[in-house]
Amino acid sequence: MNKAQLVEAIADKMGGRQQAADAVDAVLDAIVRAVVGGDRVSVTGFGSFEKVDRPARYARNPQTGERVRVKKTSVPRFRAGQGFKDLVGGSKKLPKHDIAVKKAPKGSLSGPTATIAKAAGKKAAAKKATGAAKTAAAKKAAAKKVTAKKTTAKKTTAKKTTAAATKKAAAAKKTTATKATAKKAPAKKATAKKAPAKKSTARKTTAKKTTARGK
């Protein structure tokens, strides 16, 4: 039986084919959404739908026999209820003019009891609190990373500035030393130029002595 045949099977009871189709779509949509959200959908006498997590594992490729790693995944699971099992197994007879699945007890369709509602409220509040705590922790971690990056950037800039200042100081010292050397060089040249004057004086003295002897 496919979906269209299922709709036809309940069309008379629902008052028409369109109403039956809408009912089937609504039921299936509610079950799928609940299971995807991690909830367990249980129908008394029929069975339950739930989400099951499968850990990562190794499997064999049936065509090549190669060992392949399978990632962690989640799959839906249906477990038949005891009434459904008894009918399929033959321990109970299928009623001809009544609903096969055991009817829900009176008052169960009017909504959850106060205790169940409180428990659901507590679970929802706990989930919200956990989510808020995780968000706050993530924000703090992000803030710490940003602060660490800024501190590292400041240290790097300071090191670069210090290195540049050191280079400038060394360059200034070299320039000063070069200028001092350049200033001292002309003094030596002046001294060298004065040396010939002494020789001239010596010649004049010799000439004077020779003149005196001739007289």
Q: Is 90 exceeded by the pLDDT of residue 48?
A: yes
CB contact set of 102 (below 8 Å; sequence gap of 6+)? 44, 45, 83
Domain presence at residue 89:
yes
Show Cβ contacts of residue 76 under 8 Å, excluding neighbours closer than 6 positions: 35, 49, 50, 51, 52
Asked which of 25-34, 83-92, 124-133, 157-166 is least confident by mean pLDDT, the reply is 124-133
Flag whether 201 is in a domain.
Answer: no
CATH number for the domain that contains residue 12: 4.10.520.10
Lowest mean pLDDT among 22-31, 60-69, 75-84, 96-105: 96-105
- 67 in a structural domain: yes
Report if residue 68 sits inside a domain: yes
Average pLDDT, the chain: 75
Q: By residue range, what is the domain housing residue 7? A: 3-107
Q: Is residue 101 part of a domain?
A: yes
H or E segment to which residue 133 belongs: helix 114-214
- Total of domains in the chain: 1
